[in-house]
Chain A
């Protein structure tokens, strides 16, 4: 059963740059999809069309058969509150506490006045704590976000996305700012949670070994087009060299576990 569907999606930025040149993908429910490609290939743009942070100039993106591309205002916010997102730079409010950052994930579901006053229902607060527990940092709830290490900050980012009770999770280079061991533990947390909750997940990754290790399916992008679509087993070094359009650099592209 298809959960997310890209139909001839094209994106042309105001600068004239064609970031996506006609993408067609169907992603079944619960799949853990990894998108690989060099920077500038259109990975970030692709992921952002799913929650309409980037509006396609042609084509549509459907989530649960709802056309995200056409959604506006309240409807769009409803769609977005069902889609969690994790960022390369974490995008936490550094001067706020961890719990408040996680609760921000609930803002799409609570009435506006509750959000503005910070008067969340007890269930929501309890759930935020639960999310922190699931990413392994329950004790950090009342610490300021900027007092955490990079790995912990990304865990808060995951907890915030999780607090939305999403059916879709988008992760844009979630480990690019982290060191290799931390990257792996964050990725395995992400995968575990996606599995447990049956969340359909799209992750942009730069590193080959991680894509092979965690993905159910790998999509390779080059120049705004899908140039590879297959299982991790099919994603050989040769396939990656085609995606990258150059020989693989063991040092730069692999990142040893």
Chain B
């Protein structure tokens, strides 16, 4: 303690007693929330019989398995080099699925965005219907859409493209309507006051405000779709995932290893391009 400090007034017992305590309700609420979360975690830990210990003891097996994914160094050329050209076709199909899914997803999401946004909606009923539709579309993951559509449509890229279309509508319309709802309401009021029709009001007052953000979202959805399109083949919806499934069934682990490397590379490349393009947009 500094010696030249001015003398402090002594803290009396009375002053301590006068300290106000935070409201009880707030503290109880916080404690209750922690308790609930804690209980859920403990329950989850037991129910899933998740075993951290076994994970550490099994780690050796795990790394050994990783080793099997890669051919011996001397054979990389003959094994992976020979297999690589076979992957070009499925890879192109993968990107085709992602493109078609993004394209139609965008096209179908556009009207839904304006129907589901409070400031551009026709009437409360259609808005509610549009929002419910979007919520259902979003609650089903892409791979699940593919798994459901494969038995209905023919095995191949068609159910894949449709699955990604449906999934894209859900995300894009959600992101889009958030953007539309945060648009400056001034121009909307101005155009309404000028007697413009509903569509014209949207085109003139809202679209210019949200266009750049929307393009960025479309690119983002394309990224997601590329990631999804590499795996939907696992359930028979075309693309490189289908090849992966075949290799897995044949226990061809070096093949699996190569496919994983290729998928990783493609996703990384598309991601980087898209991230770069998005940074240019805004």
Query: Do A and B come into direct contact in the complex, CB within 8 Å?
Result: yes
Q: Which residues of A contact B (CB under 8 A)?
A: 51, 53, 76-85, 87, 89-96, 100, 104-105, 107-109, 112, 115-116, 157, 160-161, 164, 170
Q: Which residue among A91, A95, A96, A100 has the maximum number of chain B CB atoms within 10 Å of its CB?
A: A91
Closest CB of chain B to A157's CB: distance in Å? 8
| CB within 8 Å of A: which B183-236 residues | 184, 186-187, 189-197, 199-201, 203-205, 208-209, 211-212
Complex Cα distance, B192 from A81, in Å, reads 9
| CB within 8 Å of A: which B161-178 residues | none
Chain B interface extent, by class: 20 to 34
Complex Cα distance, B252 from A141, in Å, reads 66
Known: A104-B205, A115-B196. 17 other contacts (CB 8 A): A51-B193, A53-B192, A53-B193, A81-B195, A83-B193, A85-B193, A92-B187, A93-B187, A95-B209, A104-B194, A107-B196, A107-B201, A107-B204, A108-B194, A108-B195, A116-B200, A116-B203
Chain A residues closer than 8 Å to B199, beta-carbon distance: 112, 115-116
Q: For residue B196, which residue of chain A has the nearest CB?
A: A107
Q: Which residue among B191, B194, B205 has the maximum number of chain A CB atoms within 10 Å of its CB?
A: B194
Complex Cα distance, B189 from A160, in Å, reads 13
Complex Cα distance, B195 from A80, in Å, reads 5
Closest CB of chain B to A90's CB: distance in Å? 7
Chain A residues closer than 8 Å to B208, beta-carbon distance: 93, 95-96
Chain A residues closer than 8 Å to B193, beta-carbon distance: 51, 53, 80, 83, 85, 170
Contact B197–A77 (Cβ < 8 Å): yes
Complex Cα distance, B212 from A84, in Å, reads 30
Q: For residue A110, which residue of chain B has the nearest CB?
A: B200
Given contacts A93-B209, A107-B204, contact A115 B197 (CB under 8 A): yes
Complex Cα distance, B204 from A95, in Å, reads 10
* 4 closest Cβ pairs, A-B complex: A108-B195, A81-B195, A80-B195, A91-B186
Contact B187–A80 (Cβ < 8 Å): no
Complex Cα distance, B186 from A98, in Å, reads 16
Contact B195–A77 (Cβ < 8 Å): yes
Contact B204–A96 (Cβ < 8 Å): yes
Q: For residue A81, which residue of chain B has the nearest CB?
A: B195
Q: How many A-B residue pairs have CB under 8 A?
A: 88
CB contact between B195 and one of A91, A100, A160, A164 (< 8 Å): that residue? A164
Complex Cα distance, B187 from A105, in Å, reads 11
Given contacts A93-B205, A95-B208, A115-B203, contact A77 B190 (CB under 8 A): no
| CB within 8 Å of A: which B51-83 residues | none
Q: For residue A95, which residue of chain B has the nearest CB?
A: B208
Complex Cα distance, B199 from A84, in Å, reads 20
Complex Cα distance, B190 from A89, in Å, reads 10
Contact A93–B197 (Cβ < 8 Å): no
Q: Which residue among B190, B195, B209, B211 has the maximum number of chain A CB atoms within 10 Å of its CB?
A: B195
Chain B residues closer than 8 Å to A94, beta-carbon distance: 184, 209
Contact A89–B196 (Cβ < 8 Å): no
Given contacts A96-B208, A107-B195, A108-B195, contact A91 B190 (CB under 8 A): yes
Contact B186–A107 (Cβ < 8 Å): no
Chain B residues closer than 8 Å to A164, beta-carbon distance: 194-195
Contact B190–A85 (Cβ < 8 Å): yes
Contact A84–B187 (Cβ < 8 Å): no
Chain B residues closer than 8 Å to A83, beta-carbon distance: 193, 195
Complex Cα distance, B208 from A104, in Å, reads 13
Closest CB of chain B to A242's CB: distance in Å? 32
Contact B194–A115 (Cβ < 8 Å): no
Complex Cα distance, B192 from A92, in Å, reads 13
Complex Cα distance, B89 from A62, in Å, reads 71
Given contacts A93-B205, A95-B209, contact A112 B200 (CB under 8 A): yes
